[in-house]
Amino acid sequence: MKPSRRETLALLAGSAATVLAGPAQARAEPTLSEAARGAGIVFGTSIAADTLADPAQATLYRREAGIFTVDYALKFGALRPEADQFLTADADAILAFAGPIPVRGHTLAWNESRPDWLMALSTAEKRKALDRHVDETVGYYAGKLHSWDVVNEPFWPGHGLPGGFRDGPWLEAFGEGYVERAFRRTAAADPNVRLVLNEAMTERWDETGAAIRAGLLKLVDRLQDRGVRLDVVGLQGHMLPQYPYDDNGFSDFVAELATRRVDIYITELDIDDARFPRDVAARDAMVAARYRDFLSAVLVVPAVKMVITWQLADSASWYYHGELEAHPSASRLPRPLPFNDHLQPKPARDAMLAAFGSRRA
Ligand code: 9MR
């Protein structure tokens, strides 16, 4: 049947809309931050000072992220490579770049960031060094940060110490009491900053993962029993597919943590693709599936309020940098993140959008 004039106009308008919809739709695709907001969470990424040097990369980070974590610039060794130094320029530049986007501090007491001068100190001097580091650093940034990863990776069962604690200068100086000490001093130096206890490998569904999960639950209980303020537990989420995972089991663990009345942030999500097939499409599909399955499971827990990837574009990943350093002419480069090294979205980005979308539903 011949369409009426009105129908013809409507059809024409429709096709004009379709033509316009091409580029317009591409622009209208939600960013990760927008999709996360729809799911009641904040999406963000870690960021390094060199991210800002590439304007296209800087634009991507600002567009997609609702929060930044300082990747490297606030670590003890970065701020204090020598005893008399306090190098804040890189972190200051990240804060200036972020503008209204909140920034997370990472990290105050981590037994792995330990310049030689620190290790050469006596126990008494190490104690003073931690106190001074926390007081000065938190004081310097007071009022400017959203949260601090006050203690990072307190557990490493591989070190064989009682309680599974990670060895290093702060444990040597104070025993496990360094954790409480760092939390109390951070709260005193910036009463409004959110206090995060950040841990790695809790997702691993093997003996190591189980020991870290048990240690973490015990530590949270002990801190709370002793009246220490703890706002958030950060679970890193560096997925290493050579280990077993049980996303639903992990989600149950996250729910158990949440009964301690803490928020949960996924703080350092990325997927190591080293053991996935070389073929890029196959590899990207496996990385995407891991993002989808992991996020769909953890986002079931209402206490999960934030998801942060460890960088946003493959070329900024620690895996990518590490591979290029080890093999400068490597042709198979890591693809662990939601955007590729041309800053284009990958299936992992779509999987994240879908996982955020399914929480809203
Ligand atoms: O991405 C960080 C990399 O640039 C640093 O060289 C490295 C050592 O300081 O740390 C990387 O970030 C780690 C984070 O601080 C703690 N969890 C594991 C992260 C990846 O190694």
Residue 250 pLDDT grade (very low, low, confident, very high; cuts 50, 70, 90): very high
In ligand 1, the atom with minimum distance to the C-alpha of 75 is: 9
Residue 16 has pLDDT above 60, yes or no: no
Residue 189 has pLDDT above 90, yes or no: yes
pLDDT value of position 66: 98
Give me the mean pLDDT over the 130-139 stretch. 98
For the chain, where do the domains classified as CATH 3.20.20.80 start and end? Answer: 68-89+101-236
DSSP 80-129: -SSTT----HHHHHHHHHHTTS-EEEEEEEETT---HHHHTS-HHHHHHH
What spacing in Å lies between the alpha carbon of 321 and ligand 1's midpoint?
Answer: 11
What spacing in Å lies between the alpha carbon of 72 and ligand 1's midpoint?
Answer: 7
Residue 359 pLDDT grade (very low, low, confident, very high; cuts 50, 70, 90): confident
Residue 9 pLDDT grade (very low, low, confident, very high; cuts 50, 70, 90): very low
Give me the mean pLDDT over the 98-122 stretch. 98
Sequence-separated (6 or more) residues with CB below 8 Å from residue 296: 247, 355, 358
Q: Which of 8-22, 84-98, 155-169, 274-288 has the lowest mean pLDDT?
A: 8-22
What spacing in Å lies between the alpha carbon of 74 and ligand 1's midpoint?
Answer: 11
- Number of H-type helices and E-type strands within the chain: 14, 9
In tens, the pLDDT along 24-37 reads: 445 578 999 999 99
Check pocket membership of 90 for ligand 1, CB cut-off 6 A.
no
CATH number of 68-89+101-236: 3.20.20.80
Give me the mean pLDDT over the 160-165 stretch. 97
Residue with the larger pLDDT of the pair 20 and 51: 51
Measure the CA–CA gap between 36 and 355, rounded to whole angstroms.
9
Written as six digits, the tokens of 298 are 């953890």
Give me the mean pLDDT over the 216-242 stretch. 98
Residue 15 has pLDDT above 60, yes or no: no
Give me the mean pLDDT over the 72-99 stretch. 98
Check pocket membership of 268 for ligand 1, CB cut-off 6 A.
yes
Q: Whose CA is nearest to atom 20 of ligand 1?
A: 318
Give me the mean pLDDT over the 316-338 stretch. 97
Residue 20 has pLDDT above 70, yes or no: no
160 DSSP assignment: -
Residue 320 has pLDDT above 70, yes or no: yes
Residue 187 has pLDDT above 60, yes or no: yes
What mean pLDDT is reported for the chain? 93
What spacing in Å lies between the alpha carbon of 174 and ligand 1's midpoint?
Answer: 24
Nearest to 346 by CA among 271, 294, 295, 240: 271
What spacing in Å lies between the alpha carbon of 310 and ligand 1's midpoint?
Answer: 9
Q: Whose CA is nearest to atom 3 of ligand 1?
A: 318
Check pocket membership of 269 for ligand 1, CB cut-off 6 A.
no
In ligand 1, the atom with minimum distance to the C-alpha of 310 is: 1
Check pocket membership of 149 for ligand 1, CB cut-off 6 A.
no
Q: Please tell me the pTM assigned to this model.
A: 0.92
Check pocket membership of 236 for ligand 1, CB cut-off 6 A.
yes
